Amino acid sequence: MKKVTLFLAFVIAASSLMAQKKTTSTATVSFDATTEKDALPKAENKTGIASIDTKTGAVAFEVAVKNFAFSNPRIQEHFNGANWLNSDQFPKFSFTGTIEKVSKIKFSKNGTYTVKVNGNLTVKDISKALTATAVFTVTDGKVKATTNFTIALADYNITGQPIEAGKISREPKVSVAAEF
């Protein structure tokens, strides 16, 4: 069972209000693999690239692995290392998907809409299906989208002693927040 919940967030710049595809390059993506034993493995990346097509419901995001900022130098190095995310070889994560029943969201009307997003998350060139719940908030033409989901590290061939030892969660939480 791939238990995954996905969240997406988007805000639209006023100038692109009329366009059906909206993008941002300042989406926040957080990664949280903390466990009871270790509170250190978590980080944020404020430079995620995200897009939404308000007509077709197509959504996507991309994020540079190396730009996740951890508080502890060793954990950051570890996260990027060859046995983990191998960011030298695979510099980004990406997601592409579609909002189920995008017509439910009235992009021209203020309101909060909870929708389901189905798609594929690609990490280290391995793509896995991901379904997540996303919340879209429309405020005066601006769209804010947020989603939370978990990923199973084993799906992406990420294993190792620190995971076995319970220092890193087997299913880290990922959250994405974007404004269009």
Contact positions vs another protein (CB under 8 A): 23, 25-26, 28, 40, 45-47, 49-51, 60-62, 64, 66-78, 81, 83-84, 87-88, 91-92, 94, 160-162, 165
Residue 73 CB, shortest distance to another protein, in Å, is 6
Q: CA dihedral defined by 68, 70, 75, 78, rounded to 10 degrees?
A: 10
- Closest CB to another protein among residues 64, 106: 64
Angstrom distance (rounded) from CA 73 to CA 71: 7
Exposure of 103 by Cβ count < 10 A (0-12 exposed, 13-18 middle, 19+ buried)? exposed
Least gap, CB of 36 to another protein (angstroms): 15
The nearest distance, CB 108 to another protein, in angstroms, is: 23
How many residues comprise the chain? 180
CA distance 40 to 71: 7
Q: Which is nearer to another protein, 47 or 114 (CB)?
A: 47
CB of 1 to another protein, least distance (A): 26
- Tokens 């919940």 -> residue: 5
